[in-house]
A and B are shown apart, each in its own frame.
Chain A
């Protein structure tokens, strides 16, 4: 509905005050230089990513097929409900279950769960559940469930990056991203993409490389202190899952879509961009609404693309300078891409924390009346969300804290990779100057976006 909203809402945080901006920027700079000299000299992350086994009873429960079945059934039910409400419920965005569920509960809630609990999406994905059920039925019938084509891996994560870009373009560039029928068509299209991909290339290959949400949540889950190894749950230090290189092609572009889209969302709500879009609309004032909508969508897609491209270019510039400084022959692109994951997570928290806790409360009223037909299924239809649940000060503190934590984690992970790559400590340090500049750029840039009115 709302022009330039994060999919839904039309409410924005107050800009971070100057004092917050300068203090945090100063902290970021000081921390960066201190870390550079003070961090460990031997790689630690990969060797610690194994973690410790959880008690076997707990592990067995978490990974049990029964729990998985229950979660998958709920998930498929929710997908069905969301699709049905989007297609047949009221067309008033905030009274329909689907927009708030998709843009707030799903798109902000699952990343939060992934960062804290690990790769929950492998058990929560409704598409994976449908594919699992199909395979089960086929195998019960005595058939062999085989992918139609072999996944060559040549495309890497580019299909997933494309899928995620399509979603963020709907969220951030479409003139009415929360219009229920639009959401319904998007869900149908994405379900087709996910299910057809799994049918053609197999469940695992498509989950790794084609299903955009699975890839995004899977990357974020590597921050989490929990992981599954050899059918057992392990607990480990957070961020240790991000050690090592990531050789899957397209990972840089994928992470850049995550980072670029969140920062574009911030930029799109500054008065600069709002006025630009307003001017474009004014130019088309004589034309029909559809033409004006198309023009704004194109302008927004261009902006979104520019932000994603900006992340890719700055990263490439940093690794190329690192390569020149250390004088290595091979590319370092796949070596330093994982440090961007905590920054992407930090951007998500910084931009969407308040939306999640404020708009998220509406899910209690919506679940009782998902179609907007004055039902009261669970007696919560009259629940009054507390819109002042977080003060602007708390939002500011959460925002700057997220950015600082993400920044420090990113630097430490990059450093860990550098000392693993280069035996010579000076070379390792030299390779980190461009990375440090890059991280400072992303963090202070993110902070600047938050401070813009």
Chain B
């Protein structure tokens, strides 16, 4: 009886190992090729974005990012992803705008608003004021993977949901 039970444990242990191994392999394949992994390690050791120094950026970040984008010549040749959000009555027209990006994509977020507020991209911590009937343009590079909410900060209304794939 004891021996039978032990065999069951050994056998099921094997099954588990197989399952785990399959999982690892499958996920590794899913995560992309080797160059992706290198990119990930480089990113982890270097500061990801000039503007993510936390405290100071929240006040005057977008100017910095815009100039960085404008002066870098290589960037202009890349395809710029434009995300356009129209705010009516303080709400995003057509619901929360969802966009999936690849890491490193240069992005410009254009918010046309009929209310005055502050547009804030969480995580990247970039914010920019928008006036009544005005348009806020925020350019940045999507260097950090994850899911990030974009909000009208004063109202606490989410207007976009950005997914940056690794």
Question: In the complex, which of the residues B9, B55, B95 contacts A275, with contact meaning CB atoms closer than 8 Å?
Answer: B95
A94 to B127, CA, bound (A): 12
Q: Which B residues lie within 8 Å of A79 (CB)? A: none
Question: In the complex, which of the residues A9, A12, A387, A453 contacts B52, with contact meaning CB atoms closer than 8 Å?
Answer: A387
Task: Knowing A2-B156, A386-B47 are in contact, say whether A391-B96 is a contact too (CB < 8 A).
Answer: no
- Identify which of residues 1-42 in chain A touch chain B, using a CB-to-CB cut-off of 8 Å: 1-5, 9-15, 17, 19-20, 23-24, 26-27, 30-31, 34, 37-38
A289 to B147, CA, bound (A): 26
Task: Knowing A3-B149, A27-B19, A392-B146 are in contact, say whether A19-B30 is a contact too (CB < 8 A).
Answer: yes
Q: Which A residues lie within 8 Å of B49 (CB)? A: 387
- Identify which of residues 85-132 in chain B touch chain A, using a CB-to-CB cut-off of 8 Å: 88-92, 95-96, 98, 120, 122-123, 125
- Identify which of residues 349-364 in chain A touch chain B, using a CB-to-CB cut-off of 8 Å: 362
B66 at the interface (CB under 8 A from A): no
Q: Which B residues lie within 8 Å of A20 (CB)? A: 23, 27
CB pair B12 A3 closer than 8 Å: no
CB pair B54 A388 closer than 8 Å: no
CB pair B54 A23 closer than 8 Å: no
The tally of CB-CB contacts under 8 A between chains A and B is 159
CB pair A19 B125 closer than 8 Å: no
CB pair A369 B166 closer than 8 Å: no
A382 at the interface (CB under 8 A from B): yes
A450 at the interface (CB under 8 A from B): no
A387 to B166, CA, bound (A): 13
Q: Which B residues lie within 8 Å of A176 (CB)? A: 156
CB pair B91 A285 closer than 8 Å: yes
B60 at the interface (CB under 8 A from A): no
CB pair B96 A274 closer than 8 Å: yes
Interface residues of B, count at CB 8 A: 55
Question: In the complex, which of the residues B9, B19, B95, B147 contacts A11, with contact meaning CB atoms closer than 8 Å?
Answer: B147
CB pair B166 A393 closer than 8 Å: yes
Interface size class of A (residues with CB under 8 A): 35 or more
Task: Knowing A381-B55, A385-B52, A388-B48 are in contact, say whether A293-B156 is a contact too (CB < 8 A).
Answer: yes
CB pair A453 B16 closer than 8 Å: no
Question: In the complex, which of the residues B8, B55, B95, B156 contacts A369, with contact meaning CB atoms closer than 8 Å?
Answer: B55
Task: Knowing A3-B156, A176-B156 are in contact, say whether A365-B54 is a contact too (CB < 8 A).
Answer: yes
CB nearest neighbor in B for A453: B163
A31 to B20, CA, bound (A): 12
Q: Which A residues lie within 8 Å of B148 (CB)? A: 10-12
CB pair A281 B91 closer than 8 Å: yes
A175 at the interface (CB under 8 A from B): yes
A95 at the interface (CB under 8 A from B): yes
Q: Which A residues lie within 8 Å of B23 (CB)? A: 19-20, 23-24, 27
A137 to B95, CA, bound (A): 59
Task: Knowing A271-B98, A385-B54 are in contact, say whether A11-B146 is a contact too (CB < 8 A).
Answer: yes
A391 to B15, CA, bound (A): 29
A391 to B45, CA, bound (A): 11
**CB of B145 to closest CB in A, whole Å:** 5
**CB of A285 to closest CB in B, whole Å:** 4
- Identify which of residues 130-166 in chain B touch chain A, using a CB-to-CB cut-off of 8 Å: 143-149, 151, 153, 155-158, 161, 163, 165-166
CB pair A289 B146 closer than 8 Å: no
A3 to B147, CA, bound (A): 14
For this complex, 30 residue pairs linking A to B, each with C-beta atoms less than 8 Å apart, are: A1-B120, A2-B151, A3-B157, A3-B158, A5-B122, A5-B149, A9-B123, A10-B149, A14-B145, A14-B166, A17-B30, A19-B23, A19-B27, A27-B20, A30-B12, A38-B12, A175-B156, A271-B96, A271-B161, A278-B95, A282-B91, A285-B89, A293-B156, A384-B52, A384-B53, A387-B52, A388-B43, A391-B40, A391-B44, A392-B166
| Contacts A5-B122, A176-B156 supplied; 5 other A-B pairs, CB < 8 Å | A34-B9, A38-B12, A94-B125, A274-B161, A382-B53
- In order of increasing CB-CB distance, the 4 nearest A-B pairs are A10-B122, A23-B23, A12-B147, A11-B123
List chain A positions with a Cβ less than 8 A from chain B: 1-5, 9-15, 17, 19-20, 23-24, 26-27, 30-31, 34, 37-38, 92, 94-95, 175-176, 269, 271, 274-275, 278-279, 281-282, 285-286, 289, 293, 362, 365, 369, 372, 381-389, 391-393, 396, 453
